[in-house]
Structure 1
Amino acid sequence: MRATSTLSQAAAIWSFILPAVLAVPGLPGLPDKIYGVNLGSWLVLESWMLPQECAFAKAFPDTVDQIFDGHWTSWFNQPDVDALKANGINTVRIPLGYWIVEALVDRATEFYPRGGLAQLRRGLQQLNAAGIVAILDHHALPGVAAVNQMFAGNCTSTPMFYTDANYHRALIWTSVMTTLSHVDSAFANVVAIEAVNEPIMDATQTPGYGNFQQNFVKVLRATEFLLGVPSPGFPALPAPANGNFTAMLPNVNISSIFTAEVLSVLQDAASILVELGVIPALSHKRTQLITNFMDVNWQFNDPPNPAAAANGPQGYDNHLYYVFGGVADPNPTAYLISICNLPRVQNDAALGNSPLWFGEWGLPVQFTANDTFLTQWADAQKLAYSKGAGWIFWNFKIEKSELAEDRAREWSYLEGVELGFLTKDPSQVHDPNVCAPYITATPAT
């Protein structure tokens, strides 16, 4: 396809004017070292709050929006932001469901609350005022991307995300959220969008996922291009005085990003943006968002490498929970030997998955842990994860109730600071030599 006709189609969809903007290298907007928390159970509920979001919405269709609005308002608000700022947090990862873009929901078969986008805008503005940047995490995807997981919004043993139709819906979500991140002032502190949270680990069960990774980056970069933010090798153009920008298009082939699928996604996203009352305009940021994937080593059985999809700044996410088993024997010594010799940052870098941050981790273990060990455990994990781009704790807080039992002790960042397991300054540890007795000559896995 000729470049002129390709760009003409794309421009006709949104009727943008392309200004001259220079690409920004690196990872724009992220702190030099990430010290973060997840805002879990806010806009995507977890199992201790309700059994599953979809089932609840289906059971209470007349009141679900009001009920959820009350939860959204009370679970994360200004006092929480103040607490995060006071404890040195510089980044949040915000789990989102695809249903926050309400037009993507098939109301005949899918049941989710409405009104989340207004709450997201409110929360982002509060975080921005506190100097905290945000990663938008596509946590619960169309059709469900994970097996029997409450975080997916609908707990099912038959995930259906890995189909062309649901990939397409996820890409529309990507374009809409990219546009909002660039033109809506409430999204000023959004620096990255994560494509998929925790896909099925067995790559043989995720057909087409490699193509989706490629299309995710293309859609995000094509959207940015039309908002005046260039992709590498495709600098944007000065807007012509007569408004006829098509006459100014260079004779270069950029069909590598403006493919038929991307153009279809942009067209579908444009209609949704109109419904939202969003008028696409020039980006307020003029810098690229960071594309973000779970690292290649998250999957096995010949997984696609997300590094192959990179175009512009890209970061990689790994999650590590010892409490679920399979990492180390369930005793303090085995845990510390494992974490103190963890080679994940190096292993990922060897495959091009760098910079890497650990987007989910916590203090839970498989055995009864005393306060002394939890303090060591916190220090050792922070030291290990800080060898990469940094870390994001799961979760910022946990419900404190009889039903939640004592989960906050090991799962809540703010509780961990209060109890003394986690240092108030997240860049510090209690004992920088905590790993010294556990360094071995045998590499960990």
Structure 2
Amino acid sequence: MVAVNAWLPYKRDLLGERVNKTNSSLLTAQGHITAGSSPTYDKIRGVNLGSLFVVEPWMIGQEWASMGCAPSHTESGCVTKLGRDRADKVFQKHWDTWITEDDINTIQSYGLNTVRVPLGYWIIEEAMVGDNVQFPRGALYFLDRLMGWCANRKIYVILDLHGAPGAQVKEQPSTGQWALPASFFDQQSYARANKFLEVLTRRIHTNLSYRTVGMLEVLNEPETGHKDLLAYYRTAYATIRNAERELQIKVGDQLDVQYMNAGWGAGNAGSVLKGEAGVVYDSHRYLKWDPSVKPNKDSYIRASCTDNVAKDGGMPVVVGEWSLAVADSVEKTADFDVQTPANKDWYRRWWAAQVVSYERQIGWVFWSWKTELGRDYRWNYRQAVEEGVIPRDPSQARGLAKC
């Protein structure tokens, strides 16, 4: 099934001037600009702004310690440790400095046209009614500011419900709380998640700073085995569309609604959204943890060159998370040492092979823009560019992949 898209970057002039760009026209709704150009150029090419609004301590250990949050695993744990007032102050400093306007300028200068922003439900206060878990307060101001920076540069934005009420997976810092078991999977939590989606949808359509937000992902990486999750998928779509209907948003200006694809193993959203417009799927391609790929250079290249991210059904697909990380068993061996020149050449080719495969669909978003992992650039797009592993122009991927 091929979904009908609401709006994606290739339908808007979000890449700036291109040699093959045709005529463009200004739409009245929030100043969006449309343009026609070659699909070769018009792909989602982006980075996740990981650990900005949902901190994952494994990737920014120094920052986490400087905030006074260590050894807690999660944001809610840090609030418990520091107390509400102190936690609010240290998190506000983090939101103010972890991603700056200079970062957005650099992202744009590296030929990227998209950012994916992981959010915790707690950024929307209305979604926290009745919650017995504490989270830091005040992030919405910084999200508004970030959206303005992106909009001013015509950078497309995907907003992602990364941490859901009750947590959608157990013992994961990426949910904001160390839950055991995960308790998202009930009607009360679904209702609170829908409140998050409703309020955020209204904000996107009524706040000019959000004018390049085009996609809203209703849930990141949920646990498998919860059959009633499909009920949430159905109501999440209805919640977003109902809010847009009440705001009298034209069909062409509606958000695309994104779901993890069936290959994730947590249900097939397409089975309950048959024929609905503006549905996009998310595939996370971490070959590091793929047991079907042997942990050697040839296998990684072969797997990426032949990858079909749409094989699990549901299109169009964005590869919303991926990296250059390899299996734990080999990541510190000589074959994969990140500072060896020959290995840098190999990582460049592997990056390119993944890009070429993912652009057979509508594009990709690398995890992540920045980390604090020392010499290891495999999770850090900015560092990989600075070290010459990833070219400043992603369009070079086709010539580098050698598939």
Q: Tell me which interval the TM-score lies in, with the shorter structure as reference length.
A: 0.7 to 0.9
* Structure 1 vs Structure 2 CA RMSD: 1.8
SS in 2 for 1:155: coil
**1:125 Cα deviation (Å)?**
0.3
The correspondence of residues 237-386 of structure 1 with structure 2, limited to 5 A, is 287-299=253-265, 303-306=267-270, 308-309=272-273, 311-345=276-310, 347-348=311-312, 351=313, 353-366=314-327, 367=330, 368=333, 369=336, 370-386=343-359
Asked if 1:79 corresponds to 2:102, the answer is yes
Q: Identify if the C-alpha distance between structure 1 residues 108 and 85 changes in structure 2 by more than 3 Å, giving closer, same or farther.
A: closer
* Residue 421 (structure 1) aligned with residue 380 (structure 2): no
3-state DSSP of counterpart to 1:128: helix
Q: Deviations over 1:29-88 (max 9, x none)?
A: 423310010011101101234421110011222211111010011101111011001111
Q: Report what 1:42 is aligned to.
A: 52
Quote how far apart the aligned CAs of 1:307 are: 5.5
- 3-state DSSP of counterpart to 1:119: helix
Given that residues 288 and 312 in structure 1 are in contact (C-alpha distance below 8 angstroms), is that contact kept between their aligned partners in structure 2? no
User: Which residue of 2 is the match for residue 26 of structure 1?
Assistant: 5
Task: Report the CA distance shift for 1:333/1:164 in structure 2 as closer, same or farther (over 3 A).
Answer: same
Q: Is the Cα–Cα contact under 8 Å of residues 35 and 427 in structure 1 kept in the other structure?
A: no
**Cα 1:45–1:327 shift into 2, 3 Å:** farther
Percent sequence identity over matched residues? 30
Once the two structures are superposed, residues 377-402 of structure 1 have per-residue CA deviations (whole angstroms, 9 ceiling, x without a partner) of 11111111111100000001112xxx
Deviation, 1:372, is 2.2
Amino acid in structure 1 at the alignment position of 2:46 = G
Alignment match, 2:30: none
Contact 2:5 2:280 in 1 (8 A): no
Q: 2:153 aligns with which of 118, 127, 130?
A: 130
- Structure 1 contact 360–393 (Cα < 8 Å) conserved: yes
Contact 2:284 2:319 in 1 (8 A): yes
Report deviation, 1:333: 1.1
Contact 1:162 1:207 in 2 (8 A): no
Q: 3-state DSSP class of the match of 2:396?
A: coil
The corresponding residue for 2:122 is 99
Residue 74 of structure 2 corresponds to which residue in structure 1?
A: 52
Distance in 1 separating the partners of 2:91 and 2:186: 30
Q: What corresponds to 1:183 in structure 2?
A: 206
Q: How many residues align?
A: 343
Look up the SS of the partner of 2:85 in the other structure: coil
Q: 1:323 deviation in Å?
A: 1.8
Distance 2:99 2:149 in 1: 10
Query: Does the 8 Å contact 2:5/2:256 carry over to 1?
Result: no
Which deviates more, 425-434 or 89-98?
425-434
2:230 maps to 1:210: yes
- 1:139 partnered with 2:104: no
Residue of structure 2 equivalent to 1:405? 374
Higher CA-based Rg:
1
CA distance in 2, matches of 1:92, 1:371: 25
Deviation at 1:431, TM superposition (A): 3.5
Q: 1:386 to 1:168 in 2, by over 3 A?
A: same
- SS in structure 1 at match of 2:371: coil
Distance in 2 between the 1:383 and 1:307 partners? 29
Q: Which runs of 5+ in 2 are unaligned?
A: 11-41, 65-72, 337-342
**Kindly tell me: are residues 94 and 433 of structure 1, through their superposed partners in 2, closer, same or farther at Cα, counting changes over 3 Å?**
closer
Do the aligned residues in 1 keep the contact of 2:6 with 2:253 (CA within 8 Å)? no
The aligned residue for residue 223 of structure 1 is 243
Gaps of 5+ in 1: 1-24, 232-285, 436-445
SS in 1 for 2:115: strand
Would you say the 8 A contact 1:133–1:189 is kept in 2? yes
Structure 1 residue 324 displacement after superposition: 2.6
Output the CA distance in 1 between the equivalents of 2:120 and 2:402.
39
Q: TM-score, with normalisation over the residues of structure 2?
A: 0.81
Equivalent residues of 2:286, 2:323 under 8 A apart: yes
Aligned ranges for residues 384-403 of structure 1 at < 5 Å?
Answer: 384-399=357-372
